[in-house]
Structure 1
Amino acid sequence: MVQKASYESQHYNRYEPTPYPVLERLFDYVELEQTDRIVDFGCGTGRLNFYVHHRFQPTVVGVEMNEFYYHVANENKNSYLGVFGFSESRIIFENSLAQDYAIHPRDNVFYFFNPFSIQIFINVINNIVHSFEEESRDIQLILYYAPEDYVFFLENKTAFQLKREIPLPGNVYEKFLIYSLEVIAPTRKVD
C-alpha cells in the first residue's frame, strides 16, 4: 500500500506492512497466549493486528499516528469482525503518536518495524520501562529490520536482554530480534 499522507516530521518513517510470509516465519518461533496484549507501533492498516489476533486470539492494540491509516484500520476491523465474528473489545486501534500512547498495565508484547527515529524509540522504551516499574510483568519487544541505534540503545542503556534472533532468507539485515525484560522472582532465604 502506498502511503497516502505522512506526518510532517523527520522522526517518522513511511508506512510499510510486514509481509505475510515474514509474519508466518516469526510466529513459527514466537508463541503468544490469549492472555497477551500486543501493541504494534505504526500499525498502518492493521495487518499484523489481524494476523496475530486470528492466529492466537490475544488482545491486539494498533497505535497509528496517521489519521487516514487509522480510519482504514477501523474499516478493516469492521470487515474482519463481520467475517470471523470475534469480539471487538480484543482489537483496538488508537490514533496517537507512539510516544503519547499510554502503556496499559497488561501490554506485554511490543512490535516495531522501524517506525520512527531513535529519539522517539527511546521515549517509547522509557514509557514501557516506567509501566514495568509500576506493574511488573514479563515484557517482549519484537523488532523487525531494527536499526543499529535501536539495538545499541537496548543493549547498552536498558535492562532488556536479547533472547532470540530469527534470520530471514536473503538479506543479512532482514531479521527479527526478540528482547525481553523479565520479572525476577525473589530468592528465598534459607535458615
Structure 2
Amino acid sequence: MKEYQYEEMLNINTAGEQQGYPRSLHYHPYEPTPYSALEALFSRYEVKRTDRVVDFGCGKGRLSFFIHYYCQANVVGVEMNETFYQDALKNRSCYKKRNQAGTIEFYQGLAQEYPINPHDNRFYFFNPFSLKIFIQTVQNILVSLERYFRKVELILYYSTEEYMFYLDNNTPFELKKEIPLPGLNSKDPYERFLIYSLPYL
C-alpha cells in the first residue's frame, strides 16, 4: 500500500519532513518512519494488545496510529515540538479507529523527562536525538525496571553506531533480532530495525 493510501485509510496526515525549525545539537529533525518500513517490521515483530508502546520523537503520530490500528495495543507518543504535538492531537481526533481497543496518548515534553509508566514495555527510537539524550532516556527505563521489573524491548530504526555501542557496552540490553529492509535502500547499512531485550527474560 502506498503512503497516501495509508494516510487516507487511517484518516490522518503525518507526511512530510520538518521544515523551518531551528536545528538542534541534541534533537534531530522530524521524519516519519516510512509505511513500507513499518510493514516490514510488523511482519516479523509482534506487538500484543497487552503491550504499551512508547515512541520517542513521535512527530505527528504515524507509528502510534499504525500500531493501534493493526495491533490494538496501547501507545504513547512523546514529542517536544508544540506544533507536531498539536498535529498529533488533531490526527487523533480524525483517526477512524479511535473507538477500538487500546488507547492512544500523546505527551508533550523532552524524552528524558517523560515519566516512564510501569506498564510501558516497548520503546521505539527512530534516531530522534543525540547520544546524550538517548543515554538519559535509557537510564530512565532501567530505573523504572528496578522499581517495576518486567520484560521490555527497545526498537531502534536507522540506529547510529553510537546508540549500539552504548547499549552493547554499558547496559544489560542485548541485540535480540535484526530486521533488514530489502528493497528500500540495500546500500544503506542503517536501513534496518534492531530489537534489544534483556537476556535474562
What TM-score comes out, normalization by structure 2 length?
Answer: 0.86
Q: Please report how far the alpha carbon of residue 180 of structure 1 lies from its aligned counterpart in structure 2 after TM superposition.
A: 0.5
Note if 1:129 corresponds to 2:142.
yes
Which one of the candidate residues 74, 77, 95 is aligned to 1:62? 77
* CA displacement at 1:17 relative to structure 2: 0.2
Q: Residue 153 of structure 1 corresponds to which residue in structure 2?
A: 166
Give the unaligned 5+ runs of structure 1.
185-191
Find 1:53's aligned residue among 68, 74, 87. Answer: 68
Q: Which residue of structure 2 aligns with residue 187 of structure 1?
A: none
Whole-angstrom CA distance in 2 between matches of 1:95 and 1:66? 7
Which residue identity is paired with 1:72? D
| Partner SS state of residue 135, structure 2 | helix
CA distance in structure 2 between the partners assigned to 1:42 and 1:181 by the alignment: 23
| 1:88 positional shift | 9.2
Is 2:18 the counterpart of 1:3? yes
**Consecutive unaligned residues in structure 2, runs of 5 or more:** 1-15
- Pairwise CA RMSD of aligned residues? 1.6
Q: How many residues align?
A: 182
**C-alpha contact 1:41 1:110 (8 A) present in aligned 2:** yes
Q: Which ranges of 4 or more aligned residues in structure 1 deviate by more than 6 Å?
A: none
Give the SS at the match of 2:87.
helix
Q: Structure 2: how far apart are the matches of 1:78 and 1:104? A: 24
Match of 1:162 in 2: 175
Indicate yes or no: 2:189 matched with 1:176. Answer: no
Aligned to 2:119: 106
| Counterpart-to-counterpart distance in 1, 2:199 and 2:121 | 10
Inter-partner Cα distance in structure 2 for 1:146 and 1:74: 27
Aligned identity (percent) is 52
**Distance 1:155-1:55 versus aligned 2 partners, 3 A rule:** same
Q: In the TM superposition, what is the alpha-carbon distance from 1:181 to its structure 2 partner? A: 2.2
Query: Given the alignment of the two structures, is residue 34 of structure 1 paired with residue 49 of structure 2, yes or no?
Result: yes
